[in-house]
Amino acid sequence: MNMKWVLAGLLFPLTLQADDTEIQQAIEEGQQAYQAGELSRAAAQFDYAATLIRQQQAGELGTLFPEPLPGWQADSVDTQAGSAAFFGGGVNASRHYNKSGASLDITITKDSPLLQTIAVLFTNPSMAAMGGYKVKRIRAHTAMVKEEGDNRELQMLIANTTLLQLSGRGMSEAEFNAYAEAVDIEALTGF
């Protein structure tokens, strides 16, 4: 195995996708190293396999974004998988949407240790209210929404493992709500 890929997997968020063979090989090499008593090498192989799996998850998250509404355009999906030691871990996917005078960013974050901090707001709506958020339901999930002029923000914690965030500027409330409803929340629940 090439050492530069191990370092890249540990130090930088990656957007490349590994195939199942590469993941299986890393797991097998980790098992062999463990059985040989080479614990550092085993840990590095298992970390590498975990990074490859997170990359795969990030790619799958990218398929859950809605298509642009009529009159809107969307950039390609940006996916990243970071090591738990750096960048808070977990996987992220985001997509930028725009039309004349309006823009929207949708971000999905999964399995990040940082979600524990945000979960406090969802379990204590009065704290969310102190932050200027209103609580509402979208497809049976609690969402926190904040509006300031024509800027809108939405945060939704799904299955305690996934954070969905929408941040819109210059768009109507109807357009903002249409995008929030169009995200495949059910797929995120079982992801």
- Is the distance from CB of 163 to CB of 115 less than 8 angstroms? yes
Q: What would the pLDDT profile of 3-37 be if each residue is shown by its tens digit?
A: 333 333 433 333 344 578 998 999 999 999 999 99
Residue count of the chain, please give it.
191
Task: Look up tokens 């102190």; give the residue.
Answer: 130
Q: What percent of the chain has pLDDT over 70?
A: 86
pLDDT at 10: 37
User: 151-158 and 91-99 as β-strands: parallel, antiparallel, unpaired?
Assistant: unpaired
- pTM score, whole prediction: 0.75
Is residue 84 exposed (0-12), middle (13-18) or buried (19+ Cβ within 10 Å)? middle
Q: What would the pLDDT profile of 43-59 be if each residue is shown by its tens digit?
A: 999 988 888 887 887 77
Least confident of 64-68, 81-85, 179-183: 81-85
